[in-house]
């Protein structure tokens, strides 16, 4: 079967240009490589940790699925599914939670961040507002990965700890019950590939500084015009390396376009013009995706069927692992 590469996308919020260049396009390119089996899924049960808004969870699942397909994911080449359509994952999450030390979960970043906020606010109960979902988040993520015995897990730097915890949990299970799980490796996207948002910090839903992928042309231009720049006048040479407009341009441009733009910066291009050039390039790249997206988003039935077909493939793979897991722990038929 070759190497199994698996990654999940939490279905909260709308995908932005950072997601496109940092996750969506690289995953699609990787899925076309020979010898790779790709598992890509909508982490909809994860979204309940962050959001208790049913409409947001539902719509986001639908929009994210449409985004991946619009950007070129071929569902016949990969296993593309909704986490909630694969009950084996939830079953595994329980079994794994029974070999996971509570102390390990106490050290998880997301949980620690929540207790730190309570500490800083002087709240006597450090666990105030912490749900069991948040606390168990790394176990569910381990189940997502181990249900398929994935070899590689491409994720952002912030998720690295979860893959380390997955390895700890898998090793603990193997130690108690015998070798069932493969220990997966994280594949971390390089810091160099991090796209800045309109305020210059990392583009992220959490910073409210994103440029969504599927804005219409007018809204895209408006978002690009909002990118923060310094106050240098046209005619004054500018440093491309420290400039957000240039960093975004670089993510979409060819080598010769990048070189040309560097010369224009040296010549003191005005910010208005630099932004117009950036807009034309992004618009050219995004347009075909946007057109496809507007078609797919109308096809609820197509999206549903694609995901159901994906879940059939996913369940086939996960049920093989689950059979081994159940046997290993002694939950099996009497004969
Ligand atoms: P957000 O920070 O907006 O919540 P996510 O954590 O949902 O984004 O990101 C999903 C994936 O998209 C990450 O694992 C990462 O690979 C990629 N990604 C997110 N933001 C960026 C960015 N600014 N630049 C490059 N890649 C990014
Ligand atoms: N927690 C990840 C995120 O917020 C998404 C995710 C859920 C995931 N399960 C996963 C990523 C399993 C990789 C493997 O980005």
Whether residue 131 is found in the same domain as residue 60: yes
Range scoring the smallest mean pLDDT among 186-190, 216-220, 295-299: 186-190
Whether residue 227 is found in the same domain as residue 93: no
Residue 1 has pLDDT above 70, yes or no: no
Residue nearest to atom 10 of ligand 2 (CA): 8
Residue 189 has pLDDT above 80, yes or no: no
Tell the burial category of 329 from Cβ atoms under 10 Å away from its Cβ (0-12, 13-18, 19+): middle
Ligand 2, residue 141: give the atom nearest the CA: 9
Whether residue 129 is found in the same domain as residue 73: yes
pLDDT in tens, 221-266: 999 999 999 999 999 999 999 999 999 999 999 999 999 999 999 9
Whether residue 100 is found in the same domain as residue 240: no
Domain for residue 200, yes or no?
no
- Confidence band for 180, pLDDT divided at 50, 70 and 90: very high
> Looking at the chain, which runs of residues are DSSP E strands?
3-10, 36-43, 79-82, 152-155, 185-188
Domain for residue 306, yes or no?
yes
Question: What's the whole-number mean pLDDT along residues 115-128?
Answer: 96
- Residue 288 maps to which CATH number? 1.10.240.10
Question: What's the whole-number mean pLDDT along residues 77-103?
Answer: 98
The label of the residue with tokens 């109960």 reads: 125
Q: What is the pTM of this model?
A: 0.91
* Nearest C-alpha neighbor of 189 from the set 40, 75, 18: 18
How far away, in angstroms, is 329 Cα from ligand 2 center? 26
Domain for residue 207, yes or no?
no
Whether residue 178 is found in the same domain as residue 36: yes
Whether residue 189 is found in the same domain as residue 102: yes
Domain assignment of residue 249, given as a range: 214-294
Count of structural domains within the chain? 2
DSSP state of 151: S
Q: What per-residue confidence (pLDDT) applies to 192?
A: 66
Is-contact 152 4, C-beta < 8 A?
yes
How far away, in angstroms, is 235 Cα from ligand 1 center? 35
Domain for residue 205, yes or no?
no
Whether residue 188 is found in the same domain as residue 250: no
Is-contact 222 210, C-beta < 8 A?
no
Is-contact 70 292, C-beta < 8 A?
yes
- Residue 95 maps to which CATH number? 3.40.50.620
Range scoring the smallest mean pLDDT among 113-127, 184-198, 232-246: 184-198
Whether residue 304 is found in the same domain as residue 290: no
Whether residue 10 is found in the same domain as residue 140: yes
Whether residue 289 is found in the same domain as residue 305: no
Is-contact 147 92, C-beta < 8 A?
yes
Residue 18 has pLDDT above 80, yes or no: yes
The label of the residue with tokens 């496109």 reads: 20
* Nearest C-alpha neighbor of 269 from the set 255, 289, 249: 249
Whether residue 162 is found in the same domain as residue 53: yes
């Amino acid at each position: 079967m070759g190497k199994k590469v698996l990654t999940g996308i939490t279905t909260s919020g709308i995908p932005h240009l950072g997601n496109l260049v940092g996750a969506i396009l690289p995953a699609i390119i990787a899925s076309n490589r020979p010898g790779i089996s790709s598992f890509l899924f909508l982490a909809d049960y994860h979204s309940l940790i962050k959001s208790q808004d049913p409409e947001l969870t539902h719509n986001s699942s639908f929009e994210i699925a449409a985004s991946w397909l619009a950007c070129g994911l071929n569902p016949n080449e990969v296993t593309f599914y909704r986490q909630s359509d694969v009950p084996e994952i939830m079953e595994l999450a329980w079994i794994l939670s029974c070999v996971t030390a509570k102390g390990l979960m106490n050290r998880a970043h997301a949980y620690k961040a929540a207790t730190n906020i309570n500490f800083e606010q002087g709240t006597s109960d450090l666990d105030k507002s912490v749900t069991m979902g948040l606390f168990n988040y790394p176990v569910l993520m381990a189940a997502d990965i181990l249900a398929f015995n994935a070899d590689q897990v491409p994720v952002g730097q912030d998720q690295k700890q979860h893959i380390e915890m997955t390895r700890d949990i898998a090793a603990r299970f193997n130690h108690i019950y015998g070798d069932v799980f493969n220990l997966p490796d994280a594949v971390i996207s390089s810091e160099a590939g991090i796209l800045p948002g309109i305020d210059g910090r990392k583009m992220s839903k959490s910073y409210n500084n994103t440029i969504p992928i599927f804005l219409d042309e007018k809204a895209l231009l408006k978002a690009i015009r909002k990118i923060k720049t310094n106050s240098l006048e046209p005619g004054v040479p500018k440093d491309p390396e420290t400039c957000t407009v240039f960093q975004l341009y670089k993510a979409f441009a060819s080598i010769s376009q990048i070189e040309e733009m560097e010369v224009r910066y040296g010549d003191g291009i005005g910010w208005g013009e630099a932004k117009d050039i950036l807009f034309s390039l992004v618009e050219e790249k995004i347009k075909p995706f946007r057109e496809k997206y507007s078609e797919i988003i109308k096809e609820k039935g197509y999206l549903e069927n694609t995901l159901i077909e994906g879940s059939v493939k996913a369940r086939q793979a996960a049920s093989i692992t689950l059979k081994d897991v159940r046997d290993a722990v002694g939950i099996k038929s009497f004969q």
